[in-house]
Amino acid sequence: MVNAIHTFQIPVKDFDRAIKFYNTLMNYELSVMDFSGAKLGAFKYDHAAGGIGGCIIKSDKLSPSSRGTMVYLDTGSDLQPYLDRVTPAGGEIQVEKTQLGPGLGFYAIIIDSEGNKIGLYSSN
Protein backbone atom coordinates (compact mmCIF):
# COMPACT_ATOMS: atom_id res chain seq x y z
CA MET A 1 0.00 0.00 0.00
CA VAL A 2 1.42 3.38 -1.06
CA ASN A 3 -1.31 5.76 0.15
CA ALA A 4 -3.79 5.65 3.03
CA ILE A 5 -6.42 7.25 0.78
CA HIS A 6 -7.66 5.77 -2.50
CA THR A 7 -10.25 8.42 -3.36
CA PHE A 8 -12.75 10.72 -1.62
CA GLN A 9 -16.29 11.96 -2.19
CA ILE A 10 -17.74 15.21 -0.86
CA PRO A 11 -21.57 14.94 -0.79
CA VAL A 12 -23.57 17.90 -2.11
CA LYS A 13 -27.28 18.82 -2.13
CA ASP A 14 -27.35 21.28 -5.02
CA PHE A 15 -24.90 20.12 -7.69
CA ASP A 16 -24.98 23.33 -9.74
CA ARG A 17 -24.31 25.50 -6.68
CA ALA A 18 -21.56 23.15 -5.46
CA ILE A 19 -19.80 22.88 -8.83
CA LYS A 20 -19.77 26.68 -9.06
CA PHE A 21 -18.32 26.90 -5.53
CA TYR A 22 -15.54 24.36 -6.15
CA ASN A 23 -14.72 25.68 -9.64
CA THR A 24 -14.25 29.10 -8.04
CA LEU A 25 -12.36 27.79 -5.01
CA MET A 26 -9.94 25.63 -6.99
CA ASN A 27 -9.62 28.14 -9.86
CA TYR A 28 -10.27 25.47 -12.50
CA GLU A 29 -13.30 23.53 -13.76
CA LEU A 30 -13.94 20.14 -12.19
CA SER A 31 -14.70 17.39 -14.73
CA VAL A 32 -18.43 16.66 -14.62
CA MET A 33 -19.81 13.17 -15.25
CA ASP A 34 -22.68 10.84 -14.40
CA PHE A 35 -21.81 7.56 -12.73
CA SER A 36 -24.23 4.88 -11.53
CA GLY A 37 -27.09 7.34 -11.05
CA ALA A 38 -24.95 9.97 -9.30
CA LYS A 39 -23.59 13.24 -10.65
CA LEU A 40 -19.86 13.80 -10.04
CA GLY A 41 -17.46 16.72 -10.28
CA ALA A 42 -13.88 15.38 -10.25
CA PHE A 43 -10.90 17.30 -8.88
CA LYS A 44 -7.67 17.36 -10.91
CA TYR A 45 -4.90 14.99 -9.87
CA ASP A 46 -1.87 13.31 -11.41
CA HIS A 47 -2.66 9.59 -11.40
CA ALA A 48 0.61 8.67 -13.15
CA ALA A 49 2.61 10.32 -10.35
CA GLY A 50 0.65 8.51 -7.65
CA GLY A 51 -1.74 11.37 -6.95
CA ILE A 52 -5.03 10.79 -5.12
CA GLY A 53 -8.21 12.08 -6.72
CA GLY A 54 -11.70 12.71 -5.48
CA CYS A 55 -14.95 14.41 -6.34
CA ILE A 56 -18.06 16.19 -5.25
CA ILE A 57 -21.08 13.91 -5.57
CA LYS A 58 -24.84 14.41 -5.80
CA SER A 59 -26.52 11.18 -4.70
CA ASP A 60 -29.71 10.40 -2.81
CA LYS A 61 -27.62 8.00 -0.70
CA LEU A 62 -25.25 10.69 0.68
CA SER A 63 -25.71 13.90 2.68
CA PRO A 64 -23.39 16.84 3.32
CA SER A 65 -22.12 17.18 6.89
CA SER A 66 -19.99 19.47 9.00
CA ARG A 67 -19.68 16.74 11.64
CA GLY A 68 -17.62 13.76 10.64
CA THR A 69 -14.76 12.91 8.35
CA MET A 70 -12.85 15.91 7.00
CA VAL A 71 -11.07 16.08 3.69
CA TYR A 72 -8.08 18.41 3.31
CA LEU A 73 -7.60 19.77 -0.21
CA ASP A 74 -4.00 20.44 -1.23
CA THR A 75 -3.61 24.03 -2.40
CA GLY A 76 0.06 23.80 -3.35
CA SER A 77 2.49 26.35 -2.00
CA ASP A 78 0.02 28.92 -0.54
CA LEU A 79 -3.58 28.45 0.58
CA GLN A 80 -4.31 32.18 1.02
CA PRO A 81 -5.51 32.73 -2.59
CA TYR A 82 -7.97 29.85 -2.04
CA LEU A 83 -9.21 31.36 1.22
CA ASP A 84 -9.71 34.67 -0.58
CA ARG A 85 -12.20 32.92 -2.91
CA VAL A 86 -14.23 31.10 -0.22
CA THR A 87 -16.64 33.86 0.88
CA PRO A 88 -17.30 35.29 -2.61
CA ALA A 89 -18.07 31.73 -3.80
CA GLY A 90 -20.70 31.25 -1.08
CA GLY A 91 -18.69 29.51 1.63
CA GLU A 92 -17.55 30.43 5.12
CA ILE A 93 -14.11 30.50 6.73
CA GLN A 94 -14.03 28.81 10.13
CA VAL A 95 -10.27 28.80 10.75
CA GLU A 96 -8.01 31.29 9.00
CA LYS A 97 -4.60 30.26 7.63
CA THR A 98 -2.73 28.73 10.56
CA GLN A 99 0.79 27.32 10.80
CA LEU A 100 0.94 23.69 11.86
CA GLY A 101 4.49 24.02 13.16
CA PRO A 102 7.93 24.94 11.85
CA GLY A 103 8.35 23.26 8.46
CA LEU A 104 4.99 21.44 8.64
CA GLY A 105 2.94 23.77 6.47
CA PHE A 106 -0.33 25.60 6.98
CA TYR A 107 -4.02 24.74 7.16
CA ALA A 108 -7.38 26.47 7.17
CA ILE A 109 -10.91 25.15 7.64
CA ILE A 110 -13.92 26.24 5.60
CA ILE A 111 -17.59 25.39 5.25
CA ASP A 112 -18.48 24.87 1.59
CA SER A 113 -21.70 25.99 -0.11
CA GLU A 114 -23.36 22.72 0.93
CA GLY A 115 -22.47 22.74 4.63
CA ASN A 116 -19.46 20.39 4.49
CA LYS A 117 -16.46 21.16 6.70
CA ILE A 118 -13.39 21.07 4.43
CA GLY A 119 -9.72 21.59 5.27
CA LEU A 120 -7.23 23.37 3.05
CA TYR A 121 -3.48 22.63 3.26
CA SER A 122 -0.39 24.32 1.82
CA SER A 123 3.34 23.97 2.32
CA ASN A 124 3.80 27.75 2.86
- Tens-digit pLDDT profile for residues 8-28: 999 999 999 999 999 999 999
Q: Report residue 66's pLDDT band, with 50, 70 and 90 as the boundaries.
A: very high
98: amino acid identity, one letter:
T
Decide if pLDDT at 91 tops 90. Answer: yes
Q: Given this model, what pLDDT does residue 3 score?
A: 83
> Is domain 7-122 given the CATH code 3.10.180.10 in the classification?
yes
Decide if pLDDT at 1 tops 80. Answer: no
Q: What number is the average pLDDT over the span 53-82?
A: 96
pLDDT above 90 covers what percent of the chain? Answer: 96
